[in-house]
A and B are shown apart, each in its own frame.
Chain A
Amino acid sequence: MSITIYVPCDSSAVSLGAERVAKAIALEAAKRSIDINLVRNGSRGMYWLEPLVEVATAKGRIAYGPVQPGDVSGLFDAGFTEGGAHALSLGLTEEIDYFKKQQRLTFARIGKTDPISLTDYVANDGYRGLKNALSMTQANIVKAVTDSGLRGRGGAAFPTGIKWNTVLNAPSLQKYIICNADEGDSGTFSDRMVMEGDPFVLIEGMTIAGLAVDATQGYIYLRIEYPHAFEILSAAIATAYKEGYLGDNIQGSGKTFNLEVRLGAGAYVCGEETSLMESLEGKRGLVRFKPPLPAISGLFGKPTVVNNVISLASVPVILDKGGDYYRDFGMGRSRGTLPVQLAGNIKRPGLVELGFGLTLRELLYDFGGGSASGRPIRAVQVGGPLGAYLPEAQFDTPLDYEAFAANWTVLGHGGIVVFDDTVNMAQMARYSMEFCKIESCGKCTPCRIGSTRGVEVMDDIINGRNLEKNIPLLRDLCDTLLNGSLCALGGMTPYPVLSALNHFPEDFWVNA
């Protein structure tokens, strides 16, 4: 009987050599006349163990990692195809503490299944949400999403059900569903993992959204930096059309939903929903004034739902198991789970999906194991390049939108970037201004000019020039950006800048 061996096709695993490991395993098996079935799964999200190779045994899947091509022949010698003992053996994959302690709802299948196999998807609870949705009224689909308490996982945390309801009630012959897959925040990769590891869950979520609000056309706006996700999504969409899960008569229901992937072109600001729509319309990605809200007048002037990948990928489980099931995870007004991404200088980087409520400290030390360098963790940036830096004193903040807001910090898309004590926070503040300058769409003055002036003021500060004048000037500039910008790019650049200044003043008041 053939033995099933899993080697991830996830691009981070590939960046560490998974492709070469897969080839080496296939070659070695052929050489030894061992019949194997090599499956390219998504990643389990334990990146310090990638490339993580798994073998299906009677006891369950056994993991080995991190595996390099040079280890492969030794693994065969140790009988790893039967789950044999080896220095790289990690035991049963799902018993690994980091994985076992998680609550995987949105990521339930990722790492387990072959991403582009519809059979695998359906065999692992896929398309159950759509099946339910097809027998429900539109108002009841929206109600299930509202009841779940799901809030926009892109970062703004706006209640998804309310957004859908607005679009449902906006009269129009044509409406659109847009998936914002322009995951540009440093330290975030959960959208990428979904698109590479379980693309059908996103397709299903978008199809349900289309049914709910009467939209027949969907677009996934995907960043150009994710070529692997593009290939996998495209393959999954083609299969979904072929098997009647997309197109004019979804599963014989007579309902229509068409879906297309569109590529961005390296503009961070196109992750802002109105800029994204301009880009989809074939224009410069200039931010629009709001109102009108996209839900009333969005893409091509039609009512449009714009949701993040994780929001849409959370919809199938909500429609499968009910809004109450999802709402029972989490704390306060942050319901359900958040796929947190641990990145930067951390010993055990990866994806941790858990109900809201865990503290940052638990994530950094219990899951993350402290810094990768072994030095003390000095600062942590949560929520991407527009998120605040948190010092050790704030590590007990629970992961909850409101608790973060109360600290003048943002949870955002759940990306956590860790820095050890070698970081220079004045340099990081300068970088934030520089990033805003490079990525500003140029429409509003505070962001366009303010970021350039911000870099200049930071250069003066870093060079110790006239600090008594320049540090208040930096605060004043941040105040203008914060209150005068059109969108979050200029409006939130002060978060990393001012938090760095407030919590780490010793890096700014040098040479004074």
Chain B
Amino acid sequence: MTESGSTQATVQEIIAALKDKPGALLPILHGVQDALGYIPAGSVPDIATALNLSRAEVHGVISFYHYFRNTPPGKQTIHLCRAESCQAMGGRQLEEHVKAKLDIDFHETTADGKFSLEPVYCLGNCACSPAMQIGKEIYGRVTADSFDATIANTEASA
């Protein structure tokens, strides 16, 4: 099967499993992004047809939510918290360090495709600020040094 064929099969499988839930669109979009890492533009017509929506409506929902993306992410996505509690503990300086270290801005992916960087507005780890998340792992009291060490570890284990 071709790559796009297998992507389409995955999307169809997710649609079939979830389309009868009330308010099925978000669960389906989560399913697709969990499986593929993003929501390919090519999957929009299939989702729209299954839910009796227009493609514009599906696109509108994808673009409304910060978490959904329509381009493939890097191997790992770093969610760095920008909210007040993290700022109170040096989050602004950490943000500068992270961007310089990875040589990218928010919503970008490193040239080698290893890391994507996304801002997040609170991880609920405010008692251990500043905080970040890589995949499902959450990190507290992050410093420039501990960030560098974490990145090195993640790269080594990837």
Contact = CB atoms under 8 A, between A and B. Distances in A.
Interface of A: 11-12, 14-16, 47-48, 50, 183-189, 191-192, 224-228, 262-268, 279-285, 300, 341-345, 349-351, 372, 381, 385, 415, 417-420, 423, 428, 431, 435, 438-439, 441
Given A16-B141, A343-B126, A344-B126, A186 B24 contact: no
B60 interface: yes
A441 B138 CA distance: 28
A227 to B, nearest CB: 5
B84 A265 contact: no
Interface in B105-158: 120-129, 131, 133, 136, 138-141
Contact of A344 (B22, B85, B120): B85
A184 B121 contact: yes
A267 B127 contact: no
A265 B60 contact: no
B27 interface: yes
Contact of A265 (B23, B65, B125): B65
Contact of B128 (A16, A226, A345): A16
A267 B64 contact: yes
Contacts, number: 151
Contact of B67 (A183, A266, A420): A266
Interface in B70-99: 79, 83-89
A317 B84 CA distance: 33
A186 B64 contact: no
A464 to B, nearest CB: 20
Contacts of B85: 186-187, 343-344, 417
Nearest to A342: B127
B83 A283 contact: no
Nearest to A420: B88
Contacts of B65: 264-267, 285
A5 to B, nearest CB: 22
Interface hub of A265, A281, A349, A423 (most chain B Cβ within 10 A): A265
Given A189-B127, A285-B65, A385 B83 contact: yes
Given A184-B122, A262-B26, A343-B129, A283 B61 contact: yes
B9 interface: no
B38 interface: no
B121 A268 contact: yes
Interface in B45-68: 51, 57, 60-61, 64-68
B61 A14 contact: no
A186 B23 contact: no
A11 B68 contact: no
How many of chain B's residues touch chain A, expressed as a range? Answer: 35 or more
Nearest to B29: A265
A265 B124 contact: no
Query: Chain A interface mostly helix, strand, loop or mixed?
Result: mixed
A121 to B, nearest CB: 22
Contact of B30 (A189, A192, A265, A349): A265
A185 B51 CA distance: 33
B84 A186 contact: yes
Contact of B138 (A11, A185, A191): A11
Given A262-B27, A283-B25, A349-B127, A372 B140 contact: no
Given A186-B126, A417-B84, 7 more contacts: A12-B128, A15-B139, A282-B26, A283-B57, A343-B85, A343-B129, A350-B127
Contacts of B64: 267, 284-285, 441
Contacts of B29: 265
A177 B61 CA distance: 24
A341 B125 CA distance: 11
B105 to A, nearest CB: 15
Interface hub of B22, B126, B128, B136 (most chain A Cβ within 10 A): B126
B88 A419 contact: yes
A14 B23 CA distance: 33
Contacts of B83: 186-187, 385, 435
Nearest to A217: B22
A341 B126 contact: yes
Nearest to B24: A282
A341 B25 contact: no
A227 B125 CA distance: 13
Contacts of A268: 121
A342 B51 CA distance: 44
A281 B23 contact: yes
A435 B124 CA distance: 17
Contacts of A341: 126-127
Contacts of B140: 12, 15-16
23 contacts: A12-B128, A15-B138, A16-B140, A50-B128, A186-B121, A225-B133, A262-B23, A264-B65, A264-B67, A265-B29, A265-B67, A267-B65, A280-B26, A282-B24, A282-B61, A283-B57, A284-B61, A342-B127, A344-B88, A345-B88, A419-B88, A420-B88, A423-B88
A202 to B, nearest CB: 15
